Amino acid sequence: MGRNAPCPCGSGRKYKKCCLSKIDLEPAELKRLYAKKYKIRLKEPADIKGIRSAGQLVVETLDMVEAEIRPGMTTDEINTLVHKFTLKNGAIPAPLNYRGFPKSVCVSVNEVICHGIPGERILKDGDIVNVDVTPILEGYYADANKTYFVGTPGPEAQKIVKVARESLKRSMSVIKPGNTIGDLGWAIQEYAEGQGCSVVREFVGHGVGFDFHEAPQVPHFGRRGEGVTLVPGMVFTIEPMINLGARHLTILEDNWTAVTKDGSLSAQFEQTILVTDQGFESLTPYDL
Ligand code: MF3
Ligand code: CO
Ligand code: CO
């Protein structure tokens, strides 16, 4: 992208006069600009501290669940574990009653892409299960998920979990001021499709922190250089949902559960990311 080329944001101005120059603005100016132009609420140091604390609780919750997962347990038992752990730590589970969602955590097994409602489904040996945790701690939200193996995984389970994990890792590696949201989506799409898998398009990452879902949307597909330019203080999730088969989905009768149309396995990893001056910091840090 040349500095004198038209800005990819569509403003009609030169790139250097538009999005490229944003990374040099004063923090207060940048905050006003991003609020006005994109409805993006940039976070200040005190906010970041709060989200980081909420994020620490997410990681502890995911670790607690990981230690408990075993064949024979129901997805509702995971809900009970997460619900109690969240309250015990002085937080509120954001999913509970969010737009009518009836439980405290999303639990998505095998062909379930996301938004699985905990219930009587029993985890069996060889399943994969995604657990998506979002507490509200002192008013701040952090959002992350992991896909776990139940017992011993078969080759398909191993493949899809590896590709989903690596998709998140690759997209994180391109986060720095001056790069764009499109760069992240491209990194995921290029890799996952190259592995013969597909990327779900109907659900995207999102700004997070003051609220569960804020601007901007963060698609897990796209083109390099397109979309909003990353600037310090942005906090958003990346949460690629990767299918072993086709990308298409069906929403079940409960109006929440998203499943692969072809019944193939789907896996996901999510973290809450802060854009820093130099690059990024995960506010829900766990190893990928
Ligand atoms: N945690 C999900 C996300 O990553 C959203 C779940 S919405 C709920 O954005 F209502 F199902 F909890
Ligand atoms: Co999310
Ligand atoms: Co989530």
Predicted confidence band of residue 9 (pLDDT cuts 50, 70, 90):
confident
Predicted confidence band of residue 258 (pLDDT cuts 50, 70, 90):
very high
**d(C-alpha 87, C-alpha 89), whole Å:** 5
**d(C-alpha 236, C-alpha 213), whole Å:** 9
Quick one: tokens of 52? 């980081």
User: Counting Cβ atoms within 10 Å, is residue 194 exposed (0-12), middle (13-18) or buried (19+)?
Assistant: exposed
Which residue's CA is the closest to the ligand 1 atom numbered 11?
Answer: 115
Quick one: tokens of 197? 């898998």
Output the CA torsion sign for 24, 27, 31, 33: negative
* pLDDT value, residue 1: 66
* pLDDT > 80? residue 24: no
* pLDDT value, residue 8: 73
CA distances from 102 to 88, 116, 231, 256 (A): 20, 11, 36, 10
% of the chain surpassing 70 pLDDT: 99
What is the pTM for the complete model shown? 0.94
Peptide bond into 177 cis (omega under 30): no
Instruction: Strand 128-133: give its sheet, edge to edge.
Output: 106-109, 128-133, 144-149
* pLDDT value, residue 101: 98
* Averaged confidence pLDDT in the chain: 96
Q: Region 85-103: what's the mean pLDDT?
A: 98
Q: Which of 104, 143, 238 to mutate to test the pocket of ligand 1 (most atoms within 8 A of CB)?
A: 143
**d(C-alpha 12, C-alpha 5), whole Å:** 10
Give the pocket of ligand 1 (CB within 6 Å).
95, 98-99, 101, 106, 115, 132, 134, 143, 237, 239, 270
